[in-house]
Amino acid sequence: MSNEQALKQYDVKKYRTPDGYTSDIAVFTILSAKTEAFKPPAMDLHIMLIKRSMQDSEGRPNIEAGKWALPGGFVDPGETAFQSAQRELREETGVDHIHLEHFGVYDTPGRDPRGWIISNAHYAIVPEHQLASRAANDDASEVELFPVKDVLNLDLAFDHARIIRDAIDVIKQKLLESTVAKEFLPEEFTYSELQAVLLTVTNDSAIALDAAFARKIKTLPFIQEVEGKKTSRTSKKPTQLYRFIVDIEVNNSIYHAKKV
């Protein structure tokens, strides 16, 4: 192809280019407030942040030192921002094979004092038990989980307040408008467990009222009963287990009736 000719004359230095390309990850998890026997769980949505060290790995003063920030880092040449987010998450928290999704780009000039730096924001959903092994690394002096309702009161690095606000909005929407709630739950779950997850983002009576929700879960097209299988982990009365049907198409049209 004639691209070869064109490429020979192309000067990659002709345009001024960004000074950095990064990925940030808003890691969400749901903590059970209490885990008593025979009780349905009470849950609370949390986000994981790191505290930026005072010095970087080479002992020099760090940018935005001492502030709380989203985990993340520079994208390596040869990888995509998404792959970078997966890698950072694996390196910084030891978590792999979880639900990770891109949700926005942050490139407002001046957002990072180091220069023209573009960040790709992702959200991740990590079941509570997978975060057991979390640990601070070079660049972070602390790692901590914050309830989403408090997190915006912290002293946050860069424009991470904005990114975190967006991430919270996105996950609240996604929990209700898609089946990602399943990423917070075991393979098979009771209606009260799903209910507890959804109640972290809504107060709607159709979900909050036990009788209503116990009935509704049986009519949802993307959830099926696990025939004849029950558990006693949430109640003395054995409780029916359900599972999400994978790969079912969810129809969200605002012009259609709910049921397909």
Active site amino acids: 142
38 binds, among DNA, its own copies, none (CB under 5 to 8 A by kind): DNA
How many beta carbons lie within 10 A of that of residue 146, not counting itself?
Answer: 16
Please give the structure tokens belonging to residue 143: 């790692």
How many beta carbons lie within 10 A of that of residue 59, not counting itself?
Answer: 7
In the bound state with DNA, the residue whose beta carbon lies nearer, of 97 and 236, is 236
Q: Does 57 bind its own copies (CB under 8 A)?
A: no
Residue type, 65: A
Q: Cα(127)–Cα(149) distance, rounded to whole angstroms?
A: 19
Q: Does 34 bind its own copies (CB under 8 A)?
A: no
Q: What share of the chain is helix, strand, coil (3-state, %, to 5)?
A: 25, 30, 45
Q: The tokens 């997850």 sit on which residue?
A: 197
Q: Does 190 bind DNA (CB under 7 A)?
A: yes
User: Among 133, 153, 203, 252, which residue sits at the site for its own copies (rule: CB under 8 A)?
Assistant: 252
User: Among 130, 141, 179, 240, which residue sits at the site for its own copies (rule: CB under 8 A)?
Assistant: 179
User: Among 87, 99, 216, 233, which residue sits at the site for its own copies (rule: CB under 8 A)?
Assistant: 216
Instruction: Report which DSSP code applies to 87.
Output: H
Please give the structure tokens belonging to residue 67: 């502030």
Q: Does 39 bind DNA (CB under 7 A)?
A: yes
Q: Considering the complex, what minimum distance in angstroms separates the CB of residue 127 from DNA?
A: 19
In the bound state with DNA, the residue whose beta carbon lies nearer, of 135 and 257, is 257
92-97-102-106 Cα dihedral, nearest 10 degrees: 10
Please give the structure tokens belonging to residue 14: 């002709």
Q: Does 206 bind DNA (CB under 7 A)?
A: yes
Please give the structure tokens belonging to residue 170: 């996105």
In the bound state with DNA, the residue whose beta carbon lies nearer, of 94 and 238, is 238
User: Among 2, 3, 9, 205, which residue sits at the site for DNA (rule: CB under 7 A)?
Assistant: 205
Helix (H, G, I), strand (E, B) or coil at 112: coil
Cβ-contact 226, 172 below 8 angstroms? no
- Sites for DNA among residues 210-239 (CB under 7 A): 210-212, 214-216, 218-219, 232, 234-239
Judged by the rule CB under 8 A, the positions of this chain that interact with its own copies are 2-3, 5-7, 9-10, 12, 15-21, 60-65, 74-75, 77-81, 102, 104-105, 107-109, 113-116, 118, 120, 173, 176-179, 198, 202, 204, 206-207, 216, 220, 222, 250, 252-258
